[in-house]
Amino acid sequence: MMLGFGKPKSKVDAALGAMDDTITHAADKWRYFCDNVPYRTEVGLADRIGAFSVPFNEGARKHIPELQNAPDGLLLMIIALGVEKSGTHSRIEIERALGVSLP
């Protein structure tokens, strides 16, 4: 007997299947956001990511079926990894700004 065989996927399992493409998409959207949404230099990275996350989360949940019911924390991780992949900020900068450790 195989454990878990035939069981429906959890929200996280479904979202994990879409992660690589979604991280790349987040990186592209983040670069566009940085180039087109002006912020003063004193606005911190955490605030910028927070502003970016609102439309990104809405779009991801609307257009990527696997993320329709994804927990907010998973979407934040996707965004953070996308920011890192974009090259605009280092992993250390992102982790410090968000107070998390990325996988």
**Each residue of 55-99: pLDDT tens digit?**
999 999 999 988 888 889 989 999 999 999 999 999 999 999 999
pLDDT of residue 19: 85
Query: Domain residue spans in the chain?
Result: 11-98
Q: Which residue has the higher pLDDT, 11 or 89?
A: 89
End-to-end CA distance of the chain: 32
Among 65, 85, 88, 73, which Cα is nearest to 23's? 85
More confident residue, 18 or 49: 49
> For residue range 26-42, what is the model confidence (pLDDT) as tens digits?
999 999 999 999 999 99
pLDDT higher than threshold 80 for residue 15: no
- The DSSP secondary structure of 11-37, one letter per residue, reads HHHHHHTTHHHHHHHHHHHHHHHHHHS
